[in-house]
Structure 1
Amino acid sequence: MDMATQRIEPPASSPRDPRRERRRRIIRNIIIAIVAIPALIWLVLYITKGRFLKGPFETIVGRMTNREVKVGGDFQLYFAPLRIKFYAERFTIANPAWATQPYLFRGERIDTRIAPLSLIFGKRRLYWLDLVNGAVDLEWNRGHTANTWTFSDKKGGKPLEFPRIDEVTVRGTTVRYRDPRMRLLADLKIDDIRSTDARIGKAVGVEGTGRLRETPFRLTAQLLSPDATANRGENKLVARAWAANNVIDVSGTLPSIADIENVPLATRARGRDASELLGIIGVVMPQTRRYAVKAQMVKDGDVYRFTRMTGTVGRSDVSGLLTVTNGDRVHLESTIATRNLDIIDAASIIGYNPDIVETKGVVAAAAATGAGPQKLIPDSDLPVEKLRAFDADLKWTIRTLKSKRVPISNIDMTLALKDGRLALSPLTFAMARGNVATDIVFDTRKRPSAVSYDVRLAPTPMGQLLAGWGVTEAGTSGTIKGRIELAGRGDSFADSLATSAGRIAFVMPKGSLTTRNVQLAELDIGTFVQKMFAGQLKEPVSINCGLIGFTVRGGIAAADPILIDTRKNVIIGRGGFSFRTEAIDLAVRADAKKFSVFSGQSPVGLNGHFAAPGMSVISPELVGRAGAALGLAIVATPVAGVLAFVDVGDAKSAACGPVLQGETAAGQRTRGGEKRDDVGRGTTAKDEKGEQKPGKEQKKKFLGIF
């Protein structure tokens, strides 16, 4: 057969594989089922609106949140068409058992569309929300370890987060917030909100009342850029609160409506008394005059940081930073700087009302604290229980104290309060080119409070120190140094000083002093008159050494000793003063070393009280001498009358060693080494015969500093 004409037969067809066909049918049926079942479910839900899911919804969501969930009216849950529609009337979510209110959320009606995938991935998103008469209760437990809006006990108290909402309509919404640790309760009402395409179109207002600790407050706030609020955009917040005669303004930009963590907020506060402001959170500070301050506040958990703080308190400026930690115990940490502190504003530091000091004087301010008439030492008790409720650390520097008489500058104060122990240590300042260091401790853990005072004055020029009291700086080269160390018991300055014991001593090394008062104190009338007519009253008085010392027992300070050795005289003082009554009873006498005519040889009395000291130049002794002079002048000649005022000049010079060492009266000696018998012995007590009782001698140096 010819190959060209050969017929080619087609191959026989192979039979179909039954197993492959079966697999195909199964895959097809599965695909149909995958498409049909959701479609059927969607269809059933769409037709029924998912109302039959009301019971399962309450059960499943209740188990997931560990709360009771109830829908008291109509209920709908279905896809419409690709968004989850949730509709519920009289919808409630219960609070945990420890909460003070039964429901976390109550709503007369809630209608919303939810993005399905947002329930699984990322932040939850609501396409739109319509809420009518919603009420939200937000609470922390006492341990601050759980809150009502965190449904998992294992996760503790998470920050409050809002979902992203594109369009919203809210009417009649209220929010209640309670924090037992902060002792804060707030009831807020939110203005009605309507938005389209995430644009609300007007400011959203919030107003309400509440109580912080024991202080009621009123609050108003606005979101000035609310178009992005529902969409979790930036929100410009402006809020104002009124509490305890204070007005507090807060403004800033929030990343979301409820997110203030680590967000810088501009804060301003003003009022009649800054102590009322801090008193809101249970912090005690001295009373102040009107204040106005501003700062930047950042909240970080329980810590509130106020930085860039500037403002005024009274007529004084303040700047610095403040950190408030609101833990189990409130803790304040502050660093403050002041360029100029008015002395009237400073009056509050020791317990005076500065407004009374300015208008009525120090005596009236002391009386307002409970001190008796004509007293200066404030007698208001420390708020002991409140001081035990918080801790504080303060660092305060002051460049200048504005005062007419007291030349004080460069004040550096450190205050520490821990568990009721208040320590002002150290408090240092410059005074008339000298330095003063002070340590004061009020330990309220002991009842009554144990109080200690330690004041140390470095060598200071007397001319500048006493210039406000008539001492002439030119020609005055004398200096003074000293120490006051006292310890007492009491909850006020007055009580602690009235029970105090210790030592007061001021030492004057060799120098000169130019003042009329020295001539009067020496009461060398002849020299005084001579200088007055010669125009030489400002000629300096030469001081070899001097000591003004007091021993304090039971609040009574007795001269121990007062001994000043000048070129011409030895000045001696007796008596003392009382911290109990604030009475002064001192007598200062000048005995001449050389012959002097018209020398009084009689004490100059210092009397009165701290608030109104007096000087009695014409003492009974001097009156007696004047009477004798008059008698001699009558029975003899006028020249004989002068003899009554003649000082033969037998005073013994003081050994300056014990004086400069601050020794007590028992340790004083004459220049020849003899024990002095003309100085006080550390007591003003009298025996039955009216004679001065000898005090306990102290042979050691005063606190080892002289």
Structure 2
Amino acid sequence: MVVEPHPPIEAPDADAAPPASAGRHRHDPANWTLAIGFAVVATIIGLIVLAWTILFVTKGRFLKPTFESIASRMTERQVKVAGDFQFYFDIIDARFVADGMTISNPTWASKPNFFEAKHIAARIKTIPVLFGERRAEWLVLDGGKVDAEWDAKKRNTWTFGDPNQKGEPFQWPTIGRADVTNTEVRYIDPQLFLRTDIKVGDIAAGDTRIDGKVPFTGTGTLRSKPFTMYGALLSPNSTVTFGRTRFEMHARSGPTYLDLNGTLPAATQIEGSDLNLKVHGPNVRLLFDFLGVAAPDTRNYWFTSKLTKAGGEWRFTRINGRYGASDLHGKMTISFPKDRLFLDAMFDSNLVDIIDVGPFIGYAPQALAAQGPQAAVAQTGGTPRILPDAPLRMESIRNFDAHILYKVKDFRNPKFPISNVDLTFDLDKSLMTLSPLSFDIAGGKLASDITINARVPAVITDYDIRLSPTPMSKLLAGFGVAQAGTTGTIKARIKMQGTGDTLRDSLATSNGRIAIILPKGTFWTQYVQLAEFDIGLFVQKLIQDKLKKPIEINCGLLGFTVRDGVAAADPILIDTDKNVMTATGGFSFKDESLDMNFRADGKKFSLFSGQSPVGIKGYFAQPGINIISPQLLTRGGVGLGLGLVASPLAAVLAFVDVGDAKAAACGPVLAGAQASAMRTKSGKPRKDVGKVGDNRQQAGDRKQPDKIGI
């Protein structure tokens, strides 16, 4: 066997680099940072798990002093827990338990503590809290007492921190389900004149709890009016959190009843609710008195509606019901922009009874329905009165603003056919406007703009009422005017201003103009000659059964200048084919008296014309016609004497009308001008319509416009 010799071993070169060692590595900075990060996160997670474990095992009882200290410092109130305290995380959500917990009130409050509870427990949603949302999956509260107060400086007991800061509105935490027993809540708001004391939970059952049901009962006063209420929150008995919660409440104040039921998004969340409201009582005014809103008196009413709260607004939709004999439908929103109540509503009615409208201008509704307008107002001064004297409710009007639209399809009225009523009512800081207020009447249209300025101590009302040409056959059908044979129309305008907080006072101090115009047309009634005050011709044709020909009206004006509540004829002039009718006198809004004398001068020879004034006397409530005037009796006596002395033929001479009346120029008449502008057909000034100066002497001396646009 041949053994090969080993090659010679060479000594290493001293200058050569040593070979890399297999056990040594170069360090990567990125890997090193990542490793540190993992270590930190692992440590944090470990600490969290450790803290969670400690809290879960100990239930966080050792945190009670820390909780009291931090809560007291954050709220600037004294927060104490007299008994057991627990705060720990049950997986993610936090559980909180406290026995004998109290939170003190600010020093100005009437009670020492804002909140007290024998036992309170809650499961709080942790993640929503991180985003500023207060949300609890469930709440258990026993023996709780809550004192929620406002004061005159607009501070409240639930705004924590500086006790003198302006109070913020209360925001309920969102609670999915609640189990509340033996709990009392007191709420006081001097600005709303509201005080309530509510007992929440199963009071009678003591410690026995009713699963999923939170009943409540309460009493209180609102604007000095007492009320009682009871109801319940009926939470769903399921494991689904934050399910919709059924709610019901019943309230009563004297004869006014309110029922509310429906669903809430959560037990303490009103926003987005879906509720059904029903109210009924003898007078809508009593209901709105709770809001401090001035509403008109009504007869018995009932209404239903849907109710929800959205964006700070209380929205009443699908309103349906009746007041008196009238129906009402629509929607209404109540909001509080700039801390001032604002009512925005849109109503409509298919049929409204005139009795139900009377209270809108001050008539007592029940008396108006039972006995008429005279019984519905206060009688003063020993004379019959029918103008309403109910004052504006200034204390309520100043409390709110409003925008109301109201439409009525048909209007039940025994005298005038009225339909398509359209009213826009606005109230802006005690300035009320009814503009437009319009309706169709007997084939014509009445439009008006009325402004009531209650911003000044003495309420000022401006009236501007316009009647478009309206067929007299329809307008006066309820007063015996026959439609067949009557082709004449009537148009009018009333423009006045008065002072006073009642309709009676406003009219009694008013100044302005009233103009009623009769354009060319015919007018027929069974008492046709009475309309022309030709007594002799009326008797003659009545005997001969010839009352079949209508009056031919050329033009007519019933004009009145009103000064300090007294309306003087300025002028009354009606030109017909046979007569020229004029009148003197007028009427007074002050005592509602009538004192006018009408006379007719014939254009043609009339054998049996009375030729004497016919008086309209009395009062608005009790008017009277004095056809047999003293002048007529005198002429009758003269005729009787002539008959005895001479012959029967001479007896009729006293009633002869020579027919010298001058026809009227219709231009000034149709323009509604004053007496000074009246002319005969030949253009000469009329001397039979009185003088404006005479009217001023009767009712003041303020200058009035010569005419108003008709």
Query: Does structure 1 residue 665 correspond to structure 2 residue 675?
Result: yes
Which residue of structure 2 lines up, in the alignment, with residue 530 of structure 1? 540
- Asked if 1 retains the 8 angstrom alpha-carbon contact of 2:63 and 2:87, the reply is yes
Shift of 1:215: 3.1
Which residue of structure 1 lines up, in the alignment, with residue 173 of structure 2? 161
Report matched runs for 1:493-508 at 5 Å. 493-508=503-518
SS in 2 for 1:366: coil
Query: Does structure 1 residue 608 correspond to structure 2 residue 618?
Result: yes
Query: Does structure 1 residue 484 correspond to structure 2 residue 494?
Result: yes
Report matched runs for 1:611-630 at 5 Å. 611-630=621-640
Shift of 1:148: 1.6
Cα distance change of structure 1 residues 116 and 501 upon mapping to structure 2, 3 Å threshold = closer
- Asked if 1 retains the 8 angstrom alpha-carbon contact of 2:415 and 2:479, the reply is yes
Q: Which stretch of the first structure deviates more once superposed, 397-406 or 182-191?
A: 182-191
Which residue of structure 1 lines up, in the alignment, with residue 13 of structure 2? none
Shift of 1:89: 3.4
Report matched runs for 1:318-357 at 5 Å. 318-327=328-337, 328-357=339-368
Equivalents in 1 of 2:431, 2:643: separation in Å?
69
Q: Per-residue CA shift, 1:500-524, capped at 9, x if unaligned?
A: 1111111111111101444124332
Cα distance change of structure 1 residues 244 and 262 upon mapping to structure 2, 3 Å threshold = farther
Report matched runs for 1:257-296 at 5 Å. 257-296=267-306
- Asked if 1 retains the 8 angstrom alpha-carbon contact of 2:574 and 2:582, the reply is yes
Cα distance change of structure 1 residues 574 and 530 upon mapping to structure 2, 3 Å threshold = same
Equivalents in 2 of 1:574, 1:209: separation in Å?
64
Which residue of structure 2 lines up, in the alignment, with residue 361 of structure 1? 372
Q: Which stretch of the first structure deviates more once superposed, 497-506 or 299-308?
A: 299-308
Cα distance change of structure 1 residues 35 and 333 upon mapping to structure 2, 3 Å threshold = closer
Shift of 1:38: 7.5
Which residue of structure 1 lines up, in the alignment, with residue 707 of structure 2? 702
Equivalents in 2 of 1:695, 1:114: separation in Å?
80
Equivalents in 1 of 2:240, 2:203: separation in Å?
10
What letter matches 2:237 in structure 1? Answer: D
Equivalents in 2 of 1:507, 1:115: separation in Å?
77
Cα distance change of structure 1 residues 652 and 540 upon mapping to structure 2, 3 Å threshold = same
What letter matches 1:506 in structure 2? Answer: I
Query: Does structure 1 residue 242 correspond to structure 2 residue 252?
Result: yes
SS in 2 for 1:232: coil
Shift of 1:217: 2.2
Q: What's the TM-score, normalizing by structure 2?
A: 0.85
Equivalents in 2 of 1:313, 1:191: separation in Å?
37
What letter matches 1:358 in structure 2? Answer: A
Equivalents in 2 of 1:177, 1:523: separation in Å?
73
Report matched runs for 1:20-169 at 5 Å. 53-75=63-85, 88-95=98-105, 101-110=111-120, 131-138=141-148, 148=158, 159-163=171-175
Q: What's the TM-score, normalizing by structure 1?
A: 0.85
Equivalents in 1 of 2:561, 2:193: separation in Å?
50
Which residue of structure 2 lines up, in the alignment, with residue 428 of structure 1? 438
- Asked if 1 retains the 8 angstrom alpha-carbon contact of 2:82 and 2:100, the reply is yes
Equivalents in 2 of 1:94, 1:695: separation in Å?
71
Shift of 1:104: 3.4
- Asked if 2 retains the 8 angstrom alpha-carbon contact of 1:203 and 1:222, the reply is yes
Q: Per-residue CA shift, 1:42-88, capped at 9, x if unaligned?
A: 679968x7665443331133334443211234556678999977554
Measured on the aligned residues, the alpha-carbon RMSD in Å equals 4.0
Report matched runs for 1:573-588 at 5 Å. 573-588=583-598
What letter matches 1:264 in structure 2? Answer: D
SS in 1 for 2:367: helix
- Asked if 2 retains the 8 angstrom alpha-carbon contact of 1:398 and 1:410, the reply is yes
Q: Which runs of 5+ in 2 are unaligned?
A: 4-21, 26-34
SS in 2 for 1:55: helix
- Asked if 2 retains the 8 angstrom alpha-carbon contact of 1:558 and 1:683, the reply is no
Equivalents in 2 of 1:511, 1:36: separation in Å?
103
Equivalents in 2 of 1:686, 1:60: separation in Å?
83
Q: Which stretch of the first structure deviates more once superposed, 575-584 or 532-541?
A: 532-541
SS in 2 for 1:626: helix
Shift of 1:373: 4.0
- Asked if 1 retains the 8 angstrom alpha-carbon contact of 2:387 and 2:504, the reply is yes
- Number of corresponding residues: 677
What letter matches 1:666 in structure 2? Answer: S
Q: Per-residue CA shift, 1:317-372, capped at 9, x if unaligned?
A: 1111111113421111111111111010011121101211111211011227x686
Question: Which of 508, 512, 523 is the equivalent residue of 1:513?
Answer: 523
Of all paired residues, the percent bearing the same amino acid is 44
Q: Which stretch of the first structure deviates more once superposed, 101-110 or 344-353?
A: 101-110
Cα distance change of structure 1 residues 518 and 93 upon mapping to structure 2, 3 Å threshold = same
Shift of 1:594: 1.3
Equivalents in 1 of 2:139, 2:110: separation in Å?
28
Equivalents in 1 of 2:569, 2:648: separation in Å?
39
SS in 1 for 2:374: helix
Cα distance change of structure 1 residues 124 and 290 upon mapping to structure 2, 3 Å threshold = closer
Q: Which runs of 5+ in 1 are unaligned?
A: 4-13, 18-23
Shift of 1:624: 0.4
Which residue of structure 2 lines up, in the alignment, with residue 9 of structure 1? none
Shift of 1:155: 12
Which residue of structure 1 lines up, in the alignment, with residue 608 of structure 2? 598
- Asked if 1 retains the 8 angstrom alpha-carbon contact of 2:362 and 2:391, the reply is no
Equivalents in 2 of 1:37, 1:598: separation in Å?
119
Equivalents in 1 of 2:51, 2:666: separation in Å?
114
SS in 2 for 1:367: coil
Which residue of structure 2 lines up, in the alignment, with residue 401 of structure 1? 411
- Asked if 2 retains the 8 angstrom alpha-carbon contact of 1:251 and 1:267, the reply is yes
Equivalents in 2 of 1:421, 1:123: separation in Å?
42
Equivalents in 2 of 1:86, 1:372: separation in Å?
76
Question: Which of 219, 222, 227 is the equivalent residue of 1:209?
Answer: 219
Equivalents in 2 of 1:37, 1:399: separation in Å?
72
Question: Which of 476, 482, 507 is the equivalent residue of 1:466?
Answer: 476
Report matched runs for 1:452-463 at 5 Å. 452-463=462-473
Equivalents in 1 of 2:240, 2:159: separation in Å?
19
- Asked if 1 retains the 8 angstrom alpha-carbon contact of 2:528 and 2:550, the reply is no
Shift of 1:35: 7.2
Query: Does structure 1 residue 227 correspond to structure 2 residue 232?
Result: no
- Asked if 2 retains the 8 angstrom alpha-carbon contact of 1:228 and 1:235, the reply is no
Shift of 1:184: 4.0
Q: Per-residue CA shift, 1:262-321, capped at 9, x if unaligned?
A: 222111111111111111111102101111111111212431111111111111011111
